[in-house]
Structure 1
Amino acid sequence: MRLTKTLLASTVMTAVAGMAWAQSDDSMTESPVAGEPMADNMTIVSWGGAYQDSQRMAYVEPYLEMNPDLDVVWDESSGEAVAGMRAQSEANNITWDLVDVTAADAMRLCDEGLAMEVDIDEITAPAPDGTPASDDFGEDMLVSDCFIPQIAYSYTFGYRTDVDAWNGETPTEICDVFDLETFPGQRSLERRPHNNMEWALMCDGVAQDDVYDMLETDEGQQRAFDKLETIKDETVWWTAGADTPQLLADGEIVFGSTYNGRLFSLIVEQDQPVEMMWDTQSYDLDGWIIPAGLEDDEEALNRVKDFLWFATDTQRLADQAKYISYGPARSSSAPLVGEHATLGIDMAPHMPTNPDNSSNAFVQNYEWWADYRDDLDAKFQSWLAQ
């Protein structure tokens, strides 16, 4: 199922509309495995940086306070989750307990039998008013039988506001990334085809609605590569979400793509001379998967289930949105989000789903990338090496 921009925005839009602090019912229901034997350690795979910090503060630390004998180990390998889980499966050695992945990667892992199928109503708590979790998340968030949603976020661009060579011009649209004459300087793009190919086609004249049909063809792929070729010599290719913010802060690039939450941290928390360019931001979803094979370790699986019940409930997802500008996946979480937990600023203007930011947003086709990612990854890396 491909989300439309309207459906995705409507699912999380209440997270930025009429936001105010509210008292949560917070009537925590006991997890189905409470009282069962549980492992005293858990390895969580995530992305590092501001996003992982938001997870740690919103629900890992509170969970540890309730479970002081538990040892949580973080592994910042989510960007390579598919390769990592394939390797662990082939070696018959599952070392990860819970893995944070994008929607498309969740689909790939589920299709390959590397992630456990779950019943969302059995593994996550109902809303405080009793609404089943499946209804609270909504079908537009439940994109895979293995996917446990957390947030909606976007890939977008940050740019320096102090570039003398721009002669006072300010980038306002995605195709400015390809305009080296008006906006000279080094760019950064992620070292993978995802998003780059879509943006390149749109800036080569392909309508948003036709991008994936075009990208399925050899001609469309070549058009995307040809467009990217025009800025290839001026591009730094990043592999970690922290790369672009650091490059922008150091002045080594003038333009760069990354996650909107990373840019929020750079702009608002670090007060760097950087602004966000929301045009054609690329919406995505992020959530948990449980590695297939973990069911062979009952105590480890019980620990993961108990943690998930807590970490994905209404209050915890609302708490996460107080630390980073990502929309919570639950409808019931939205009214509980308001100001940043420490800065005291209204989070509404910084959400990717805010109407002021989302007028020309682009919604990724998760199924398409699940089907074509391996093939295009190979072609993309070959093109980079040329």
Structure 2
Amino acid sequence: MEVRVKNILSLTVSGLAVAIAFSAVDVPKAVAADQLTIVSWGGAYSESQRKAYYEPYMKEKGIKIVEEEYDGELGKLQAMKDAGNVTWDVIDVDSAHALRGCDEGLLEQLDYSKIGDKAKFLPGTALDCAVGTIAYSTIFAYNADVYKDNPPTTLADLFDTAKYPGKRGLLKKAFGNLEWALIADGVPSEKVYEVLSTPEGVDQAFKKLDTIKKDVVWWEAGAQPPELLANGEVVMTSAWNGRIGNAIKEGKNFVIVWDYQEFDWDYWVIPAGTKNLDGAYDFVKFASDPKNMSQQSKYIAYAPTHADAIALVDPAIAPTLPTFPANMKTVVVTDLVFWADNNEELTKRFNAWLAQ
């Protein structure tokens, strides 16, 4: 699996530029039960899913969708499986947990004949146990009302508290922060995971984070970064690009800095042991249909993972998406395998570092 996934990761950025024209898939007409429980991240992201997928699906199928939120960890799913009572039917997961959940037997091995042509999904988005739903990025953003002159333009500026004093927000995880720390310390982006795979590289990343630690406000939920910027608690913050994009649409004078955006995917997965396997597949196929998938970008600035869906996105929206060429001049493509293998160890190190 490791070689295969790393190979598809190496194709991800180039594949985005060429995998644009394929045919749509049909939506099935029958499901196995009258209710589905779908688990996602809440906030503006879940709202976009509600508008693009849940409401149209319920209207077309007559199926009730019950929404639940979670923090991205699979511990609750593990407990459900151990108890023999899995109550979730479909989950939106990040890339690292898509692989870990598959390796640990928590997720169904997907039958793509029930979803669509596997080859029509972008490179890196059609995995054994997970099918991509969005391409998104971790970026950093600032309030233009604060920086009217000489605003930050590079990732290095996020770490430069002398040139840009004030608090900055960062996600309270090792994931993503270690990569940015190494790049800000001079490591070429294409070498980041090679360096981070060594004890010396991990030490280097934490040493760079030390330089801004006292100036960091840690956030844990996607809704927090826009709030931190709006209330002036921070002068700049990392964020998921769609959350800042929505705040901009709502009138906030925020600016996204795309320099070394951390590019990643979210995926639909089906829990092993779901009591409504047929219904889960039916929803995933519906959500993976290009006509339906292309709708989500209307409500949040995340890109589709199916080439036909990209072609259907309103051209006026395209510049706000992480896949827009001008936004991908510098990019870090998240290494799924690295984080699936190292998340637990690096999270322990990160939490210990926070407590120091």
TM-score class normalised by the smaller sequence: over 0.9
Partner residue in 2 for 1:208: 189
- In structure 1, how many angstroms separate the alpha carbons of the residues matched to 2:344 and 2:271? 20
The aligned amino acid for 1:284 is D
Q: Please say if residues 3 and 365 of structure 1, whose CA atoms lie closer than 8 Å, have aligned partners that are also in contact.
A: no
Partner residue in 1 for 2:334: 364
Partner residue in 1 for 2:52: 58
Partner residue in 2 for 1:9: 13
Partner residue in 2 for 1:374: 344
Partner residue in 2 for 1:282: 262
Deviation at 1:141, TM superposition (A): 2.0
Distance 1:4 1:95, change over 3 A: closer
Q: Is residue 76 from structure 1 mapped to residue 73 from structure 2 by the alignment?
A: no
Deviation at 1:6, TM superposition (A): 7.6
The aligned amino acid for 2:114 is I
The structure 1 residue matched to 2:26, chosen from 29, 40, 45, is 29
The structure 1 residue matched to 2:322, chosen from 333, 352, 358, is 352
Aligned to 1:94, the other structure's residue is in SS state coil
Q: Deviations over 1:301-357 (max 9, x none)?
A: 121122122121110111112222222111111221116xxxxxx112111121211
Partner residue in 2 for 1:235: 216
Q: Is residue 137 from structure 1 mapped to residue 110 from structure 2 by the alignment?
A: no
- In structure 2, how many angstroms separate the alpha carbons of the residues matched to 1:97 and 1:359? 38
- In structure 2, how many angstroms separate the alpha carbons of the residues matched to 1:107 and 1:355? 28
Aligned to 2:337, the other structure's residue is in SS state helix
Q: How many residues align?
A: 352
- In structure 2, how many angstroms separate the alpha carbons of the residues matched to 1:370 and 1:123? 27
Q: Please say if residues 160 and 254 of structure 1, whose CA atoms lie closer than 8 Å, have aligned partners that are also in contact.
A: yes
Aligned to 1:54, the other structure's residue is in SS state helix
Q: Please say if residues 317 and 333 of structure 1, whose CA atoms lie closer than 8 Å, have aligned partners that are also in contact.
A: yes
**Unpaired segments of 5 or more residues in structure 1?**
18-23, 126-132, 340-345
Deviation at 1:13, TM superposition (A): 4.1
Distance 1:305 1:186, change over 3 A: same
The structure 2 residue matched to 1:245, chosen from 216, 226, 232, is 226
Q: Judge which range, 224-233 or 203-212, deviates more.
A: 203-212
Distance 1:308 1:5, change over 3 A: closer
Distance 1:5 1:93, change over 3 A: closer
Deviation at 1:187, TM superposition (A): 0.8
Q: Please say if residues 5 and 362 of structure 1, whose CA atoms lie closer than 8 Å, have aligned partners that are also in contact.
A: no
Task: Map 1:113-262; keep pairs closer than 5 Å.
Answer: 113-120=105-112, 122-125=113-116, 133-142=117-126, 144-163=127-146, 168-262=149-243
The aligned amino acid for 1:46 is S
Deviation at 1:160, TM superposition (A): 1.2
Q: Deviations over 1:40-78 (max 9, x none)?
A: 22111111122212211112101111233x32221121x
Aligned to 1:328, the other structure's residue is in SS state coil
Q: Please say if residues 72 and 93 of structure 2, whose CA atoms lie closer than 8 Å, have aligned partners that are also in contact.
A: no
Partner residue in 2 for 1:342: none
The aligned amino acid for 1:203 is A
Q: Percent identity?
A: 40
- In structure 2, how many angstroms separate the alpha carbons of the residues matched to 1:369 and 1:380? 14
Aligned to 1:275, the other structure's residue is in SS state strand
Distance 1:91 1:273, change over 3 A: same
- In structure 2, how many angstroms separate the alpha carbons of the residues matched to 1:382 and 1:93? 34
CA RMSD of aligned residues (A): 2.3
The aligned amino acid for 1:112 is E
Deviation at 1:89, TM superposition (A): 2.4
